[in-house]
Amino acid sequence: MIEDRYASAVEAMLFACGDAVPLDDLADALGTDKRTARKIVAGLAELYELEQRGIRIVMLDDACQMCTNANYFEYIEALGKAPKQKSLSPAVLETLAIIAYRQPATKADIENIRGVDANHAVNRLVEYGLVSEVGRADAPGRPVLFGTSEEFLRFFGLSSLKELPGLPEFETQAEGEARTESVIQSTGGDELQADFFAQEPDTQPETDGEA
């Protein structure tokens, strides 16, 4: 009975908060430990999945969030309540993959790998909340360091960065570019964009099609 009450309490808190809630905060609110909180969340997530409910609970590192089930997106869209969606060009997705695997990374790091200016691509990713500033590099000018965000995990359906496909320790630039495309495909990037972004052309010109 206590477990059922805890599960209902977690359900209520996640619904009320909307955004991701750290497991530590849930544990404090329940008056229990983090391990128990994680177990309750996992049980709820499994129940929602089993019953194919219209909502689901996703884990984002050491936090969790209540989200709509992507299987019913068409009904939300028909209701006229679907969030405005935008597309990410291949160049921006490539930049995102570089940041995900090299983070924390500066714009100079990205430009050294891609060979083109990274300003537009990084700015677009920051605008969408997929990456954020995580510090400053100990280098001349103290350039900004960028890393992926919780929104990045949601976008690609990951619970943590540990779920990213592995990369070999050493590879040529050409091999890295080919693997970047493979990573995008293996994580379902194209399908996930349909869930989160409408297909809108990226009109910003740049030397590599886009940077």
The Cα 74–Cα 32 span in angstroms is: 39
Q: Is the peptide bond before 90 cis (omega within 30 degrees of 0)?
A: no
Domains in the chain (CATH in brackets) are: 2-78 (1.10.10.10), 90-196 (1.10.10.10)
pLDDT value at position 22?
A: 93
For all residues of the chain together, what is the average pLDDT?
A: 79
This prediction has a pTM of: 0.59
pLDDT value at position 29?
A: 95
pLDDT value at position 109?
A: 92
The Cα 204–Cα 211 span in angstroms is: 9
pLDDT digit string (tens) for the chain, length 211 residues: 446 789 999 999 999 998 889 999 999 999 999 999 999 999 999 999 999 999 999 888 889 999 888 888 888 878 876 556 667 888 898 999 999 999 999 999 999 999 999 999 999 999 988 999 999 988 888 999 999 998 888 888 788 888 888 765 444 445 555 555 555 555 444 444 433 333 333 334 344 444 3
β-strand partners of 136: 144
* Exposure of 142 in the CB half-sphere (CA atoms within 13 A): 4
pLDDT value at position 168?
A: 58
